[in-house]
Structure 1
Amino acid sequence: MHFQIGSALPLETTLRLVEPGACVLPPIDAYRIVVHLSRATRTFCRETGSAALREIGDIDLIPSGDTGGFDAEAAYQSLEIRLSPVVLDRVGAEIGRITGANKLEGRHMLRHDRIFNLARSIEHDLSVKSASDLLYAESIGIALAIQLLGLRDEPLDPLARLSPIQLKRVLTYIDEKLDQPLTLEILSREAGVSNSHLRTWFKVAMGLTVHRYVLRRRVERARFLLLQGELGPSEVALEVGFAHQSHMARWMRRELGCSPGDLRRTAINR
């Protein structure tokens, strides 16, 4: 199959060392593939405030026109690849996956061996200061476009499920880390599956979403601690991972039909 990209450079790359603190990527007219190249970097999402531990090979995909970035506790190295939407559209047309107005969705902390290996090739090219020609850039650009387009079309096997070991690993992790921020990225990595697969397969296995399951486990743990009577409601809320006491109270009423104060009084009157 022959791909016609045109004379414009299909991708641009920047290898950078980022200092601790806020990293904001303003909207641009290109898809950005940001590949993390440092070990164990604790970061915080600028939108949700949730924490995540980024490792070598974690990939963020920022669609054309979108803002990206996060806060990091320590300095880290990353490779940013900027791919023109024109390349994506033309490659999509060649392989029968039309993009057009339906742009690709953003991804956070994606694990994808083929994209990572392509990024490694670019990183090596930059490190040895190779004078890459247009043909090389076109080849990498086409390969990246094919992989990105494939993300949207990943087939879900209707018979596929979390294995008993995978499910137990996720449930155990949730129980052990209830007091900490829990995200789909963290839990899907624990299970060894993609975010979309975890969302689908967890609900099949447990009958409710990951988010609702985590909230229910937090409520159950809070109920146990309140009935023990050793901690006050505000302390219990933090102990089980709720943002604050009123957040815990709202979900307790929804799940149990009672308030933290009701449970506290029950413990005192025993």
Structure 2
Amino acid sequence: MRSQFASDQSSSHVTMVSRHVEAGVHRLSRVPHHRIMVHASAATRSYCNEVGRYFVRRAGDIDLVPAGQEGGFEAESPFDTIEIALRPALMERVAAELGGKARASRLDTRHLLRDPRIEHLARALESDLNANAPSGSLFADSVGAALAVRLLGLDDPGIDRTNRLSDTQLKRVLEHIEAALHEPLSIDRLSRVAGASSSHLRTWFKVATGFTLHRYVLRRRVERARVLLQRGDLSTSEVAELTGFAHQSHLAHWMRREIGQTPRDLRRASRPK
């Protein structure tokens, strides 16, 4: 079983590993976190020891294994899977923020679940890992909170209904982001600024702006970097530091993704003819 870990997320409540699983017998040992496994290959047939039956998993099929539960299966052919580890503490925190309506302590085992939202979030984590450009704790924490809300709402579709941010709350968050683009920004920090729970802020912010918190912060950092680079009086490494990017390559990666230009492209375009 070969794995590629999202090592930059090791301190987060959510981590991801991309696994290649060979044909044969495999055992899932007990672990202290919830496991969300998204099938990422063509149709694969396997026998589940826990329920005593065969399953055919197709791309996008999801298996949930609660913390502390073990399992096992026999795969008839190799396959790839995205495995997300979610800490119970995050589930408990999100349940409390949602008013205690969710049963955070109970996550049932599920096989062959189809849920586009969970699959989308898993793919977002996978893309971040494969890009080899860590997005920071704000991204991982936002994805973790979104996953927790979705898992808690599987049996209660109304659980993730929220109200909008007030104009005052939104203004406080936007102003704080602008003033602190050069600093690490976490969902917890911005929640304190807004005076709202992290789960609610994550949803409310998207309703108010059309962007996730992570995407909005990235866009503002890229725009600030663009202005500083065009000014021409700072090195690329200085610009990266002033706009909250880990290093020059991190800055170049996100500039290319957001505006289709690198720092070098911008400097060339700004030179006098």
Aligned twin of 1:107: 110
2:86 is equivalent to residue 79 of structure 1: no
Spell out, residue by residue over 1:205-233, the C-alpha distance to the aligned partner (whole angstroms, 9 max, x if none).
Answer: xxxxxxxxxxxxxxxxxxxxxxxxxxxxx
Instruction: Give the Cα–Cα distance (whole angstroms) in 1 for the partners of residues 22 and 14 of structure 2.
Output: 25
Aligned twin of 1:136: 139
Instruction: Give the Cα–Cα distance (whole angstroms) in 1 for the partners of residues 121 and 51 of structure 2.
Output: 30
3-state SS in 2 of match to 1:116: helix
Name stretches of at least 5 consecutive residues in structure 1 with no aligned partner. 1-6, 156-270
Question: What stretches of structure 1 move > 6 A for 4+ residues in a row?
Answer: none
Aligned twin of 2:223: none
Instruction: Give the Cα–Cα distance (whole angstroms) in 1 for the partners of residues 86 and 51 of structure 2.
Output: 27
Aligned twin of 2:222: none
Structure 1 residue 50 displacement after superposition: 1.1
Question: TM-score scaled to structure 2, two decimals?
Answer: 0.52
Aligned twin of 1:67: 70
Aligned CA RMSD, in angstroms, stands at 1.9
Structure 1 residue 41 displacement after superposition: 0.3
2:28 is equivalent to residue 25 of structure 1: yes
Structure 1 residue 58 displacement after superposition: 0.6
2:51 is equivalent to residue 48 of structure 1: yes
Q: Which of 34, 38, 56 is residue 35 of structure 1 equivalent to? A: 38
Which has the higher Rg, Structure 1 or Structure 2? Answer: 1
Structure 1 residue 105 displacement after superposition: 0.9
Q: Which of 127, 144, 149 is residue 152 of structure 2 equivalent to? A: 149
Name stretches of at least 5 consecutive residues in structure 2 with no aligned partner. 1-9, 159-273
Instruction: Give the Cα–Cα distance (whole angstroms) in 1 for the partners of residues 71 and 50 of structure 2.
Output: 10
Contact preservation (8 Å) 1:89, 1:98: no
Structure 1 residue 12 displacement after superposition: 1.2
Aligned twin of 1:120: 123
Spell out, residue by residue over 1:175-228, the C-alpha distance to the aligned partner (whole angstroms, 9 max, x if none).
Answer: xxxxxxxxxxxxxxxxxxxxxxxxxxxxxxxxxxxxxxxxxxxxxxxxxxxxxx
Aligned twin of 2:96: 93
Instruction: Give the Cα–Cα distance (whole angstroms) in 2 for the partners of residues 42 and 11 of structure 1.
Output: 28
3-state SS in 1 of match to 2:153: helix
In terms of mean alpha carbon deviation, does 145-154 or 55-64 score higher? 145-154
Aligned twin of 2:224: none
Aligned twin of 2:202: none
Contact preservation (8 Å) 1:20, 1:74: yes
Instruction: Give the Cα–Cα distance (whole angstroms) in 2 for the partners of residues 143 and 77 of structure 1.
Output: 24
Q: 1:145 to 1:20 in 2, by over 3 A?
A: same
